[in-house]
């Protein structure tokens, strides 16, 4: 850390070696500072991939595009296998995997594996004029037992994935040394296909649960139309999800990682849900006996799919997502929109659907208030940053979402009409958009003069 002068020769060498455009940096140089005038300190820190012992990018990848070389420990990425889902970019606390929109795939530092195999140093090591970067052999057992040397100001906790990068700190490092970019936060990418997919799958799951309840209670005769509508929305949502991929033609590969990836499990469970829902709708159409058990299975699969969706986002690298509030938010949407959708097909029908939707709206409002207070009072930079975005640049949308929830809660009980569903649907779309754009991810410290980070 004391040797690095911030010249960024390593960044240029890495880009030239790997043929990356200027905006995609597999190696970056950050800045940290500490002290008070006139006694201040500023240091630079060059960082590429840490080739962690528990690489979160590898664990989360649904298509198994990542492997860990057994001989060198280097975490390798296979671009030919990658489908561009970008899930690894959300999992890594250091922001190492970079999505290339021109190629539709992710790329990352592989420590110049080919150069290492030929006995040469990585490009960044060879280019550094100060010798600030070096490659060393790591004793895995010793490092796993004590990896405190991977901790440094301006870096996320090494314990997130057991980073193997040793950072040599200056002996006179001031205790208040920290990142210089804490006031430069910006909204992330909205991921509109995922906004649509999440809201519609949660609506569909809630609707089929409501339909099953009506079916077993014999409380309503016209179940076929809402069943077909819910099934259509489930199909639309699954189709919309593929638009998020950089290589949608290979979406089927997402089922490969069922053993460890929640994204793979979400794809599998929502596909099963759609299939069972189709069977249930068919049984309603033909008025077949014994459909109650299929209805129950449909409701369970829908809830399981929503749970898998929530678990995708509950990762340490995205602190605002890494809590039970994410699951509460998703299931509240399910409880709010599902009954409203069924009742919109027959506004004069079963009254308790409106009360169920009001309960879902109240749960959603309660969740949002508690989540905001939790983030605003946190000592963690990323959580406070999310609260600052919601109370600053995103305040108008945040307040509109809250006002819509209050209106829907009242109207669902007092004076229901199909327009209430449209109002609630619009509010939840805003909410899911806020979910994506307001998250402040963990990352290494940026340079003081660097432009705002481009969201993955």
Average pLDDT over residues 148-168: 94
Domain of 261?
Answer: 192-437
Same domain, 211 and 107: no
pLDDT digits (tens, 9 = 90+) for 378-420: 999 999 999 999 999 999 999 999 999 999 999 998 877 889 9
Is residue 298 located within the same domain as residue 345? yes
pTM of the model: 0.93
User: Do 209 and 96 have their domain in common?
Assistant: no
Higher pLDDT, 219 or 227: 227
Domain co-membership, 175 together with 232: no
Whole-angstrom distance, CA of residue 62 vs CA of residue 262 = 8
Instruction: Tell me the average pLDDT across 250-267.
Output: 96
- Mean pLDDT for 120-148 is 95
Domain check: are 167 and 296 in the same one? no
Average pLDDT, the chain: 93
Percentage of the chain with pLDDT > 90? 86
Say whether both 304 and 390 belong to one domain: yes
* Window from 206-210, 271-275, 345-349 with minimum mean pLDDT: 345-349
Same domain, 262 and 169: no
94 lies in some domain: yes
CATH number, domain containing residue 386: 1.20.1630.10
Going by pLDDT thresholds of 50, 70 and 90, the confidence category of residue 454 is: very low
What pLDDT, on the 0 to 100 scale, is given for residue 290? Answer: 85
Q: Which CATH number fits the domain that encloses residue 146?
A: 3.30.70.20
User: Does residue 332 register a pLDDT over 70?
Assistant: yes
Classify residue 449: in a domain, yes or no.
Answer: no
| Same domain, residue pair 21 and 136 | yes
More confident residue, 221 or 79: 79
166 and 209 in a single domain? The answer is no
Structural domain ending residue among the three candidates 132, 149, 179: 179
* Domains in the chain, number: 2
The pLDDT score that the predictor gives to residue 183 is 80
Q: Are residues 364 and 252 in the same domain?
A: yes
Q: Does 30 have pLDDT greater than 60?
A: yes
Same structural domain, 219 and 93: no
**Residue 221: what pLDDT?**
63
């Amino acid at each position: 850390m004391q040797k690095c002068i911030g010249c960024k020769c390593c960044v240029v060498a890495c880009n030239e070696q790997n043929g990356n455009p200027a905006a995609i940096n597999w190696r970056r140089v950050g800045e940290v500072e500490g002290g008070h005038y006139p006694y201040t300190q500023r240091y630079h820190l060059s960082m590429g991939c840490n080739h962690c012992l528990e690489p979160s990018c590898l664990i989360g990848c649904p298509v198994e595009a990542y492997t860990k070389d057994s001989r060198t420990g280097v975490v390798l990425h296979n671009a030919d296998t990658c489908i561009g889902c970008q899930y690894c970019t959300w999992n890594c606390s250091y922001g190492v995997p970079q999505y290339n929109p021109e190629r539709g795939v992710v790329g990352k530092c592989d420590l110049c594996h080919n150069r290492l195999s030929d006995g040469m140093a990585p490009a960044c090591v060879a280019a550094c004029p100060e010798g600030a970067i070096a490659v060393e052999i790591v004793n895995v057992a010793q490092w796993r037992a004590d990896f405190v040397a991977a901790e440094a100001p301006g870096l996320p906790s090494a314990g997130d994935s057991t980073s193997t990068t040793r950072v040599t700190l200056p002996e006179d490092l001031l205790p208040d040394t920290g990142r210089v970019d804490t006031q430069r936060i910006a909204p992330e990418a909205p991921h509109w296909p995922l906004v649509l997919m999440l809201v519609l799958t949660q609506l569909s799951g809630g609707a089929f649960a409501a339909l099953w309840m009506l079916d077993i209670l014999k409380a309503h005769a016209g179940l076929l139309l809402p069943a077909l509508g819910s099934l259509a929305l489930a199909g639309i949502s699954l189709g919309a999800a593929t638009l998020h991929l950089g290589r949608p033609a290979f979406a089927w590969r997402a089922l490969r990682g069922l053993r460890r990836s929640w994204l793979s499990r979400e794809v599998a469970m929502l596909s099963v849900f759609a299939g069972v829902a189709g069977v249930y709708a068919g049984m309603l159409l033909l008025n077949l006996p014994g459909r109650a058990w299929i209805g129950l299975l449909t409701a369970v699969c829908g809830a399981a799919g929503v749970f898998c969706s929530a678990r995708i986002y509950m990762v340490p690298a995205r602190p605002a997502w890494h809590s039970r509030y994410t699951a509460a938010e998703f299931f509240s949407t399910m409880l709010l929109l599902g009954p409203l959708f069924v009742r919109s097909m027959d506004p004069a029908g079963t009254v308790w659907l409106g009360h169920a939707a009001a309960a879902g709206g109240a749960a959603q409002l309660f969740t949002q208030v508690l989540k905001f207070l939790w983030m605003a009072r946190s000592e963690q930079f990323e959580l406070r940053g999310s609260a600052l975005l919601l109370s600053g640049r995103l305040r108008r949308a945040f307040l509109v979402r809250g006002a819509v929830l209050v209106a829907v809660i009242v109207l669902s009980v007092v004076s229901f009409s199909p327009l209430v569903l449209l109002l609630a649907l619009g509010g939840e779309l805003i909410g899911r958009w806020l979910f994506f754009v307001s998250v402040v991810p963990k990352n290494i410290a940026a340079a003081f003069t660097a432009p705002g980070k481009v969201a993955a």
